[in-house]
């Protein structure tokens, strides 16, 4: 079955540690996206990538980094520079401009 | 900047019709999308309007007026499983691609 996988579903880290969230898709989509969602809020764009080895900052990129070495993979690193990293992180991919497919999300809690 | 406004909460009775409005201000605009998200789950795509008018998909319809920067999602024959959050999102140009800017969501509660 085609889809997007994110791992792990729940992640706990100590303050000051970097953490990397995984996102893999087998939909053969060119574009991939990372969003952050806080309780009662909409999704805010962190980074996006249209093609391999290229990515662009979204609205809230500070304290995050990404890589796009393979078409299928778009990992997100939450660095210690991110002041409030506890949130629900969603990865998405798309082939058209009008629909994005989302993974199940990773809920990150920084203690 | 970009901003989208939608009601924070709506309650409706099972079997009824409900309309969720969305107004937007954005630089660059391709179209308006709607996504559904159940608690703890991932958003799923419902509909897209690139042109003015009504799009119908089963029990769901979506409308767009570009001149008014306004759209709505219409849910008919409400079912309990429709209880979820609904997000409008503007598609706008990005570097070599496009970006979605989401509203804060409308939490729909369907009651018996």
**Number of neighbouring beta carbons within 10 Å of residue A20:** 13
Say yes or no to pLDDT of B97 above 80.
Answer: no
CB contact (8 A) between residue B101 and residue A97:
no
d(CA A92, CA B35): 13
**Which residues are bridge partners to B23 per DSSP?**
B5, B70
CB distance from B102 to chain A under 8 Å?
yes
pLDDT category, B81, cuts 50, 70, 90? Answer: very high
Task: Give per-residue pLDDT as tens, A54-101.
Answer: 999 999 999 999 999 999 999 999 998 888 999 999 999 998 767 899
- Give the CA-trace dihedral at A2, B34, B68, B94, to 10 degrees: -40
d(CA A44, CA A7): 20
CB distance from A74 to chain B under 8 Å?
no
Rounded to an integer, the average pLDDT of B12-30 is 94
Across chain A, mean pLDDT equals: 93
Say yes or no to pLDDT of B17 above 70.
Answer: yes
CB-CB neighbors (< 8 A) of B101 in chain A: 45, 59
Residues near A90 by beta carbon (within 8 Å), at least 6 away in sequence = A6, A34, A35, A36, A37, A43, A102, A103, A105, B42, B43
d(CA A82, CA A64): 7
Q: How far is CA A18 from the centre of its chain?
A: 14
CB contact (8 A) between residue B103 and residue A42:
yes
pLDDT category, A41, cuts 50, 70, 90? Answer: confident
Q: What is the pLDDT of residue A1?
A: 65
CB-CB neighbors (< 8 A) of A99 in chain B: 33, 45, 48
Strands B9-13 and B106-111: parallel
Residues near A93 by beta carbon (within 8 Å), at least 6 away in sequence = A4, A25, A27, A29, A31, A32, A33, A74, A100, A101
Q: What is the pLDDT of residue B96?
A: 61
Say yes or no to pLDDT of A48 above 80.
Answer: yes
CB contact (8 A) between residue A97 and residue B44:
no
pLDDT category, B95, cuts 50, 70, 90? Answer: low
Q: How far is CA A42 from the centre of its chain?
A: 15
CB distance from A105 to chain B under 8 Å?
yes
Dump strand ranges (E) for chain B. 3-5, 9-13, 18-25, 31-37, 44-49, 53-57, 60-65, 70-75, 84-94, 97-102, 106-111
Place of tokens 């990865």: A91
């Amino acid at each position: 079955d085609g889809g997007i996988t994110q791992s792990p579903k729940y992640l706990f880290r100590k303050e000051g540690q970097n953490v990397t969230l995984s996102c893999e898709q087998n939909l053969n989509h060119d574009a991939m996206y990372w969003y952050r969602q806080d309780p009662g809020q909409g999704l805010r764009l962190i980074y996006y990538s249209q093609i391999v080895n290229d990515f662009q900052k979204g609205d809230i990129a500070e304290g995050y980094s990404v890589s796009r070495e393979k078409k299928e993979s778009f990992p997100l690193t939450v660095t210690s520079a991110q002041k409030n990293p506890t949130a629900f992180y969603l990865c998405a991919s798309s082939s058209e401009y009008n629909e994005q497919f989302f993974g199940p999300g990773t809920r990150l809690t920084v203690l | 900047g970009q901003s989208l406004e939608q009601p924070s909460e709506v309650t409706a009775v099972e079997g009824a019709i409900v309309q969720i409005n969305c107004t937007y201000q954005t630089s660059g605009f391709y179209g308006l999308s709607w996504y559904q998200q159940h608690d703890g789950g991932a958003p799923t795509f419902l509909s897209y309007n690139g042109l003015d008018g009504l799009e119908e998909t089963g029990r769901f319809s979506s409308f767009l007026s570009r001149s008014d920067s306004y759209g709505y999602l219409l849910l008919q024959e409400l079912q309990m499983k429709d209880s979820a959050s609904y997000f409008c999102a503007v598609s706008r140009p990005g570097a070599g691609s496009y970006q979605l800017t989401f509203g804060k969501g409308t939490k729909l509660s369907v009651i018996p």
